[in-house]
Structure 1
């Protein structure tokens, strides 16, 4: 009976840890919780054998994934079976994290194992972000801090991985202190903790505090207007076209009327460029000459360049179109018709199961009722648009969640990243705000402005320090499923950061350190250390260990 109660208590703590982590993400945004949400999980699995550590951490992952991705059930043809498979697939990496931690705890002791948690966690996030068609750099712990620019400036050197590392380090230090208190018997006066163990706890805590202090060093915001910068006025069009109307021929004329009216309204403020969202036009401008001319005349009338998204087909369609490959594209329209060739970027990173079916012919997707989506072709290379000397890169839809996409564009000379997207699929859920959180990191990582233009929101301008400079909202402050125009000025400064030059060096280093720690642990003979002790702790020659049957732990008795 006691065993059942203990198991229930452990599961409750693990699920509370998972729930607290979910609440730290958008759109709950209780970001402070992230700095302690992992503590219950670490305290529970520190005493478990490796197999049980794997199971418990997987359960934690299931709670986390189901909570963060609850909005995905709005996607067409997405069933509860698909949701269960997604939860299982993306929960397993956390299981391996629990396995690595418990093995390290068994062989080295609690404090060294806790010190390894930041490396393990960053490795898990990096590997699940680069796992073929399952790559998903979404809901990284770092993303919980997107509303705190002072905290995330190190992302310009380490990427989001460095912020995740620090969050885990603080969680590990808190867990070490609490474990030390619990093990010392201060709350029940049962026994004393070993002095060497508490030294290790204090050392880990000191490292976490030092890291927090270092984190704030680069937190000052650099002023705009450095040499080489240029002020550009941009206007964003948020048309708020319902998803069910976007591809209906009966609504094509009214959709273009909405965009024309909003574009003329934006033109009154004399912007250099006007941005429309992903798949804005009801038909492809490459297949409808009249539609293309209509957009051209709008550009000429307003005197502004127009960047727009246009596609031949909507996502999540299961029909086959023989001999035709669709593209999800962005076009830049010259208001003076001087550009000899139409500037066009075709989306490179297609959405699995929405724009293509991965490993078709190898995996029998029909067995789990996945629609046979096909017909889209990926673009060949990234493009830096040139709008009269204003050089910028464009990402389409979810491409902006991949750090390397923005980094490659900056490497090709982009002074700004423009993300055009349509998130009407997901309804009024956390999805647009989670997209926004990731866009904040693209700005900090590369020290450029990031512009988000979304059909239904959130449309905004993010400065190079990750501050949301302006956000499109109505009078009540509502920023999704509202219609409007946002105009502001950005300073296109030369982009320069360690991350834009070196990429994911910090994450790769964490993977290598984790691999070394795992291999080193595997080479050690399994030893059990008291909770709070570290591997170097050895009893003196006049002390021998004996098992305390009442507690199931090792106690040390002097001769």
Structure 2
């Protein structure tokens, strides 16, 4: 057989068979990257297969090792899409692809920035450590940009059932993310090692984070060092799911009043404990009780009948600028409205619209977004024996927002939320997982009150002792521990994330600087190049 001739200036690698092999290799890497990101998605609630997250990072570690930043970006983009596209499916439940896919793509692009940097440090000694630190830095970036950040999808929020959860009490959500990433990246490193010495280091990267998580469980406490309180979470339900759930605003309010009155009947009949405090959901009164006397009267009726203070989620119009606030109003028996908390972290493209005039060029639907204004005061309410931190819905995803609420002296956390817009999607379970992480992080009981579910009582160790179904009226009543003791994570604040982020960035800077210094001059000749494979630079 006569070999196919090679044209002058053409290498064997450029012949069609070689190109086909390269194409197959690239397609294989793309498929594997998507599957790796999908594994991380599957680790998130409502599923309990938390161990798939380190598997997904192991896949990422294998793909990124020795790659250039360009290939790391491309492979990371595919991995990020495999993770974020299914995770954020709920954002398009009632508005379609226009919200879902652009948001997922943006999140994946930000992940790709991190994976490009992870590829850069993948040749350093102890690569799994530096790559995991870079991942923490990337999560920190996604928590602040763009438009105030979107930390949904932090790896920690997929771990409420996992062995890593106790680490939240030491270093918060960032430490969990670091530990999960280190385990997976260490496993990838272990697969590549042939020398026993290298295997020992890689094995340590796999085992130590898991061991640390198990060991940290000794630091998680549930004892009521400030007594106990009996709390009720009211889920009144909504007339219908979707964006127009509040078209019958009075029906939503009446549902919550009715369910509270039913609870009062149960208390009088001995079927339920008398609550010390009651939490209603976000938007349980979309009618401003300060402007509508009838709405205020209905809320006061519920308060007087149940005989306990009620935190009521309401839309309140500011008398000065005439713009709405997402506000929780404290109603007390015999006193009426006595205090307020205004949501500080607003949801972009929902409660508010950044660059409204610019985005209106592309679609007039931007005017469906609200004109809500943020609050500034993190202090919650004193309700009976409890000092309650209030973090409304979207706020629970933000480390700094919850941190400031707890720092105001809270011994319990309440998460009033409205998830009716997202129907029967996984969104409410993803959000409940965040509440479970916060419970361990701060060592506090967390009470989740949702308009349509899932409402829950979460103990300081992250366990859920009571929960409701979805789109059904219900009431949860439980006696819970009040804890004032500060966890190590509370005392350290943002420092663990800052330190890990700084170390990750220093590793990137060191790797880039070292590579430039070691780059051969034309006179010296060029040695073996780094592998550059993947969507952004296939080899």
What does residue 427 of structure 2 align with? Answer: 431
Alignment gaps of 5+ in structure 2: 1-19, 519-525, 533-539
Which of 25, 36, 48 in structure 1 is aligned with 2:44? 25
- Return closer, same or farther for 1:270/1:167 CA change in 2, 3 Å cut-off: same
Cα shift readout 1:244-291 (whole Å, capped 9, x = no counterpart): 453326747854663454443464431111221111125221111122
Cα shift readout 1:437-479 (whole Å, capped 9, x = no counterpart): 111111111111110000111111111111112222xxxxxx2
Matches within 5 A, 1:121-160: 121-148=135-162, 151-160=164-173
Question: Could you say what the CA RMSD is over the residues aligned between the two structures, in angstroms?
Answer: 2.8
What does residue 104 of structure 1 align with? Answer: 121
Query: What is the aligned residue count?
Result: 497
Q: Counterparts of 2:442 and 2:455 in 1: how far apart (Å)? A: 20
Q: Counterparts of 2:37 and 2:220 in 1: how far apart (Å)? A: 36
- The structural deviation recorded for 1:517 is 0.8
Cα shift readout 1:200-250 (whole Å, capped 9, x = no counterpart): 3321322432332232223137564454x2211111111121244533267
Matches within 5 A, 1:32-431: 32-75=51-94, 78-105=95-122, 108=124, 112-148=126-162, 151-180=164-193, 193=194, 195=195, 198-220=196-218, 224-227=222-225, 229-241=226-238, 242-243=240-241, 244-248=244-248, 251=251, 255=255, 258-265=258-265, 267-268=267-268, 269-312=273-316, 324-337=322-335, 342-361=338-357, 363-372=358-367, 373-431=369-427
Q: Counterparts of 1:14 and 1:301 in 2: how far apart (Å)? A: 57
| Partner SS, residue 248 of structure 1 | helix
Q: Counterparts of 1:515 and 1:434 in 2: how far apart (Å)? A: 30
Q: Counterparts of 1:137 and 1:546 in 2: how far apart (Å)? A: 42
- Return closer, same or farther for 1:456/1:249 CA change in 2, 3 Å cut-off: closer
Indicate if the aligned counterparts of 1:324 and 1:375 stay in contact, CA closer than 8 A. no
Q: Counterparts of 2:377 and 2:363 in 1: how far apart (Å)? A: 33
What does residue 480 of structure 1 align with? Answer: 470
Runs of 4+ in 1 over 6 A off after TM superposition: 545-548
What does residue 517 of structure 1 align with? Answer: 507
What does residue 12 of structure 2 align with? Answer: none
- Return closer, same or farther for 1:178/1:526 CA change in 2, 3 Å cut-off: farther
Cα shift readout 1:166-224 (whole Å, capped 9, x = no counterpart): 111111121012123xxxxxxxxxxxx5x4xx523321322432332232223137564
Indicate if the aligned counterparts of 2:34 and 2:81 stay in contact, CA closer than 8 A. no
Q: Counterparts of 2:399 and 2:83 in 1: how far apart (Å)? A: 22
- Normalised to the residue count of structure 2, the TM-score between the two structures is 0.85
Indicate if the aligned counterparts of 1:151 and 1:215 stay in contact, CA closer than 8 A. yes
Q: Counterparts of 1:359 and 1:132 in 2: how far apart (Å)? A: 12
Q: Counterparts of 1:497 and 1:224 in 2: how far apart (Å)? A: 11
| Partner SS, residue 470 of structure 1 | strand
What does residue 16 of structure 2 align with? Answer: none
| Partner SS, residue 362 of structure 2 | helix
| Partner SS, residue 524 of structure 1 | helix
